[in-house]
Amino acid sequence: MAAVYKVRHQQLNSAHALKLLFVSSPAISKRLIREGRVQASLRHPNIVAVTDVLVVEEGPALVMEYVDGPPLDEWMVDRKLTVDEALHVFRGVVLAIAHAHSLGIAHRDLKPANILLARTNDGLVPKITDFGLMKALGADTGGQTMGGVPMGTPNYMSPEQIRDAASVDKRTDVFALGCILYELITGVEVFPGNSQYEIYQRILIGDYKPVTELVDEVPRHVVRAIEMCLMTERNERLSDCDMLFDMLYDQSVTFGATVTRGEAIQLESVDASRPDEPDDFEDTEITDVNDSPARPRNIDDDARRKLDITILTTVSALLLTAVVAGGTWLYLERAKAARAQAQVQTPAPIVPATPVPKPEPAPPKDLGPRPESWATVIVEGDAQTVWLARGILEFYLRPNAHVAPQTYAIHAVFDDEDPVVAGELVVEQDLDITLRCEQATRTCTPQL
């Protein structure tokens, strides 16, 4: 429905990109203008800037910054990335989408073709483009998206986006980010298929090959991040880009080991008894990346255990059961403070074997009001690190952490030794709980 041309400003002699519609209709023109306004408002070094709107042959056209570089899907052809290279490219993509989400915008069409790699003196810089299918989060879209209709690019659509594109939130972008990271690391699409129906079916039931079957020596936290982005039930998925950023790049959140090819990551519950809008657009070739810390987050801790799967018109529904975990309030607030202090940095060139730059964690600041009906957990004693686990999720405790009411397994590290299951914590509403961790017994005992 549109094409992007490289154009030259006659007075400034500067290069720009011009997105021009092929089809002329009031609805499509309105959507293009809306796309331009949204993209112009997202001022971020990893998002392609829209600078003007022109009238060309009685129709609107968007003037955008010209990105001298290939789209990510073309760049990845016949190229085998290391995990560090993949994470370096992916970093800017996550930060760009976190920025859009912080301003109430969901992209809804994230894919490698919509990520351009700008060639700069400091290396390749990813930039996000094509907000033609964007959705204003928490707002009435004014009929821009027809309810009950899938909208997006099939291989990167979340299950809820397949069922109804009008009802999605920022977690649908988190799902697409998981697909992109999987493809960067493995070199293949996470949900391949010979037809749109087959792709949808794989997505709806979460049918994909684990990363560890395709790539050797993948860090455990990277595998876990992909798994949690690709959860079919969105209430079990990572709730925002900031959680994803922390899992991948926060030095204080560690999962320990790498995973060799064929090794399965244990995702079962921990046993504490053990000792140890209606029209679509053609893809635009513009995208972007950023090396600053991620945005503040809001984590959805409500438990949901039903997965209602609809595979298209006449396909029967499947029911799966899953466990939803809670998080800690302070962990989220610490990330907010760290990001508020950090500066946007220009990413370094992609060089094999070069470590991915990571933000320095900042000390926690004022936590603000305490969440209603949550408990305060204080850790004392000899443990170096303490975290709570429920199902596949693990949450590290900072000083005076706020924890949702749940039953958790307590994990701890003493004297740089291997982590142990140090007990069980039953969190009830509005309690002040102290975890006393003893090196001698290698246990953490709750004290009300």
Q: Active-site residue numbers?
A: 109
Quick check: 199 and 273 in contact, CB under 8 A? no
DSSP secondary structure letter of residue 292: S
Q: Which two tokens stand for residue 73?
A: 């899907």
Separation CA 347–CA 235 (nearest Å)? 32
Task: Copy the structure tokens of residue 222.
Answer: 């990277």
CA distance 92 to 112: 13
Residue among 155, 131, 159, 141 at smallest CA distance from 42: 131
C-alpha–C-alpha distance, residues 294 and 193, integer Å: 33
Tokens of 178: 């998981």
**CA dist., res. 299 & res. 325, Å (int):** 11
Burial status of residue 319 (CB atoms within 10 A of its CB: 0-12, 13-18, 19 or more): exposed
- CB-CB neighbours of 260 under 10 Å: 11
* First CA to last CA distance, the chain: 63
Question: Please, which residues have CB within 8 angstroms of residue 110's CB and are 6 or more apart in sequence?
Answer: 93, 97, 128, 156, 173, 176, 177, 180
Q: Which residues fall within 8 angstroms of residue 50, CB to CB, at 6 or more apart?
A: 36, 39, 40, 62, 63, 64
The CA distance from 291 to 92, in Å, is: 6
